[in-house]
Amino acid sequence: MTAAGRRPAPPRPATAELNGITVSYAESGEGPLVLMIMGTGSPGRVWQAHQVPALVRAGFRVVTFDNRGIPPTSECPDGFTLADMVDDTAALIEHLGAPALVVGTSLGARIAQELTLSRPDLVRGVALLGTYGRVTPLVSAFSAGELALIDAGIELPGDYHAAITAKQNLSPHTLADDRAARDWLDVIGFGGQTRSAGLRAQLSLPEREENRLAAYAGIDRPCLVVGFADDQTLPVQLAREVAEAVPGSRYAEVERAGHFGYLEHPETVNELLIDFLRGVAGE
């Protein structure tokens, strides 16, 4: 276990040929295996800002990876399905040494849900952040709009793109602080705009996603659902629906947090994750 207060060693990057594609991943720490799945358009390294160091210090072996569509993992520009992404995740867990504690956010949480349902042998417990069990008309409309911009070759003015992204993914309480808002706008602006074939393939997924709430009654692994009270991308009632659908699940809600709640309030989210993961690992 990493001593308290000591900075964890840098992640160990690697690639593996799994499920017919190249999967890029990074591994940190030692202990029970935790696999973390990121959401639409984001690389796995986003977890390394706050969650990976905290989990490594708590005594876990943490693996993050880039989903299909996000380089250097194969982009698969001809398109793919959610089932393909679930199979990628299953293959990675088998490669790492199953089973794993699984953490996902947004699309990553949806993948984690489907993985837990279809391959419970690979999952010790699952934590779902900002999740959903059905696609709403608003979610579909946003995805369709992003696809239209990509297909038309349109790139928004940088400041405007940053403002829209902040408004959609951060809590109004965060944005009410001018200094915090400026910092977030700078961070988002620095990241630029992605208009890749792989991102387009991920954005196409909601068109084919079904309402899976009834199916989640079949999930039989320990489950933590974390909702973000001010989530505008996937409104918090969607997370509550998943918690109600999964038998015996634990639900926690983070106040003053938007879709990026794990970045806005990392201490709160990390505390919830560590408490849950330690409880499952100790069973």
Distance CA 101, CA 99 (A): 7
193 has pLDDT over 90: no
Let me know: does 206 contact 140? Beta carbons within 8 Å.
Answer: yes
pLDDT value, residue 42: 94
Question: Tens of pLDDT along 138-157?
Answer: 888 988 998 999 999 999 99
- Mean pLDDT: which of 7-21, 201-215, 252-266 is highest? 252-266
191 has pLDDT over 70: yes
235 has pLDDT over 80: yes
Using CA atoms, how far residue 252 sits from 47, 163, 209, 241, in Å, is: 20, 28, 25, 13
Section 182-194 average pLDDT = 90
194 has pLDDT over 90: no
Question: Tens of pLDDT along 22-71?
Answer: 999 999 999 999 999 999 999 999 999 999 999 999 999 999 999 999 99
> 4 or 106: which carries more pLDDT confidence?
106
pLDDT value, residue 135: 93
Is there a catalytic annotation at residue 28? no
Residue of 215, 220, 253, 44 lying closest to 129 (CA atoms): 253
**116 phi, psi to nearest 5 deg:** -65, -35
pLDDT value, residue 1: 43
Distance CA 217, CA 259 (A): 25
Choosing from 106, 143, 171, 249, which is the catalytic residue?
106
Residue of 25, 13, 28, 5 lying closest to 70 (CA atoms): 25
2 has pLDDT over 70: no
196 has pLDDT over 60: yes
CB atoms within 10 A of CB 154: 10
Domains of the chain, CATH where assigned: 12-135+210-281 (3.40.50.1820)
Is there a catalytic annotation at residue 249? no
Section 177-184 average pLDDT = 97
Choosing from 171, 230, 231, 265, which is the catalytic residue?
231
pLDDT value, residue 5: 53
Average pLDDT value over all residues in the chain: 94
Q: Beta strand 12-18 with 223-228: parallel, antiparallel or unpaired? A: unpaired
pLDDT value, residue 3: 46
pLDDT value, residue 209: 86
pTM above 0.85, yes or no: yes
Is there a catalytic annotation at residue 106? yes
Choosing from 66, 87, 259, 265, which is the catalytic residue?
259
Share of the chain above pLDDT 90, in %: 86
pLDDT value, residue 6: 61
Question: Tens of pLDDT along 199-208?
Answer: 999 999 987 8
